[in-house]
Structure 1
Amino acid sequence: MSLPFKIFYFVFVIFNEFCREILNLCKFDGLFRQLTSRFLPKILKAKN
C-alpha cells in the first residue's frame, strides 16, 4: 500500500467512526437540548 492511500484510508476510517458517533448523538439530541436549555443559562449567569 502506498503512503497516500494509507493516510486516506486512516482518515476515512476515523471519519466513518466519527459519523457513527454523531448519528448516535443525534438520538440523544432532544435530551442534550433539554440539558443545555436548563444549564446553559445558569453557566452564562455564572460567567457574568
Structure 2
Amino acid sequence: MEKLHVEMQHHIFLIYFFVTMEKVNVYMPIYYIEHTLVTKEMSLSHSYQYGLP
C-alpha cells in the first residue's frame, strides 16, 4: 500500500512538472524539447529497472 502511495505522489509530481514546463516552453522551446527527450529516456530506463509496463 505504501508503494502505491509513493507512485501516486510521483505521478502528481510529474503532472505538476510538465504543466510547469509547458509554461517555460513559451520562452525556452529548445530547452523544453531537449529536456522532454531526456525525461522520456529516463522514464523508459526507470520502467525497465522496476519492470513496469
Normalising by structure 2, we get a TM-score of 0.48
Aligned residue for 2:25?
29
Q: Give the one of 2, 5, 13 matched to 1:9.
A: 5
Higher helix share: 1
**Residue ranges of structure 2 left out of the alignment (5+ in a row):** 31-53
**Residue ranges of structure 1 left out of the alignment (5+ in a row):** 37-48
Q: How many residues align?
A: 30
Normalising by structure 1, we get a TM-score of 0.52
* Structure number with bigger Rg: 1
Structure with larger RCO (C-alpha < 8 A, sep 6+): 2
Alpha-carbon separation, structure 2, partners of 1:12 and 1:32: 29
Misfit runs of 4+, over 2 Å:
none
